[in-house]
Amino acid sequence: MSGRPACCAYRPLGLVLSVAMACILLARPARGDVPSSVLILAVPGLSAEDVREGSLPTLDAIAARAGLGWLVTRTAARPGLPGDPAASGYLTIGAGTRAVAREPGVATGQPLLDRLRLAQRAVDHKVDMGAVGRTCRRAGLSIRVIGDADAASPRRAAILLAMDTRGEVDEQSHHHIPDATAPYGISDAWDWPDPAARALTVWVYGDVARADEYAHLCTQRMAQAHRRRALARLDACLRRRLMPAIERADASRRRLLALILAPARSGAAHPSDRLTPLVVLGPRQGSGLLTSPSTRRMGLVLNTDVLPTIARFLSVRTPRGTVGRPIEIIPAGAAPLSRWRDTHRTTLSATLAQYTLGSMPYVRTSLVLALTLSLALAAWTGGRVAWLRLARGLAGAPAFGVALQALSGFMPPSPVPVGAGILCAAACAGALLACLAPRVAWTMVRALFAVAFAAVLGDLCAGGTHVRNAWLSYSAMHGTRLYGIGNEMAGAILAMLLACVMPLWRTRARALVPGALAFYACVAALPNLGANLGASLAGLATATAAGVISGRSRRACALGGLAIVAGVAALLALLVSLDSGPAGSHLGRALAQGAGLPSIAARKVMLNLTTLTQSIWTVAACIGVLGLFLAPADQRHQSSRRERALWLVGLASLLALNDTGIVAAGVYVSVSLPASVLMARIEGPEPSEPQGVRDD
Dihedral sign for Cα 635, 641, 646, 648, please: positive
Domain extents for the chain? Answer: 36-324, 358-679
- Asked if 381 contacts 387 with a C-beta cutoff of 8 angstroms, the reply is yes
Q: Is the pLDDT of residue 167 over 60?
A: yes
For residue 599, the model assigns a pLDDT of: 63
pLDDT of 133 > 90? The answer is yes
Give per-residue pLDDT as tens, 589-635.
555 555 555 666 666 677 777 778 888 999 999 999 999 888 876 54
Q: Which of 623, 634, 572, 563 is nearest to 601 (CA)?
A: 572
Half-sphere exposure of 659 (CA within 13 A, CB side): 14
Comparison of pLDDT for 453 and 267, the residue scoring more: 453
Residue 407's pLDDT is 93
Check whether 30 has a pLDDT greater than 60: no
Cα dihedral 404/406/412/414 (nearest 10): 70
- Say if residue 103 is exposed, middle or buried (CB neighbours under 10 Å; 0-12, 13-18, 19+): middle
pLDDT, averaged across the chain: 82
Looking at residue 432, what DSSP letter applies?
H
Instruction: Of 43-57, 118-132, 570-584, give the lowest mean pLDDT range.
Output: 570-584
Mean pLDDT (whole number) for 212-219: 90
Name the class of domain 36-324.
Answer: alpha beta
CB 113 within 8 A of CB 168: no
Tell me the C-alpha distance between 642 and 142, whole Å: 68
Question: pLDDT tens digits, residue range 530-567?
Answer: 788 888 888 888 888 887 776 655 555 565 566 666 66
Give percent of the chain above pLDDT 70.
Answer: 83
Q: Among the listed ranges 219-233, 284-298, 447-461, 548-562, which one has the minimum average pLDDT value?
A: 548-562
Contact call for residues 88 and 76 (beta carbons, < 8 A): yes
Whole-number pLDDT of residue 28: 39
The yes-or-no verdict on residue 114 having pLDDT over 60 is yes
**Cα–Cα dist 70/479, whole Å:** 12
- The pLDDT of residue 332: 75
pLDDT at site 31: 38
* Helix pair angle (438-461, 661-679), 10° resolution: 140
Within 10 A of 364 (CB to CB), how many other CB atoms are there?
A: 22
User: What's the distance, CA 127 to chain centroid?
Assistant: 18
Alpha-carbon span 576 to 592, nearest angstrom: 10
8 A C-beta contact, residue 400 and residue 448? yes
In whole angstroms, give the CA distance from residue 370 to residue 618.
16
CA 146 to chain centre: 32
Quote the pLDDT of residue 553. 53
53-71 tens-digit pLDDT: 678 888 888 888 889 999 9
Residue 208, SS3 per DSSP: helix
How confident is the model over 399-448, as pLDDT tens digits? 999 999 999 999 988 889 999 999 999 999 999 999 888 889 999 999 99
* pLDDT tens digits along 496-523: 999 998 888 777 777 788 888 888 888 8
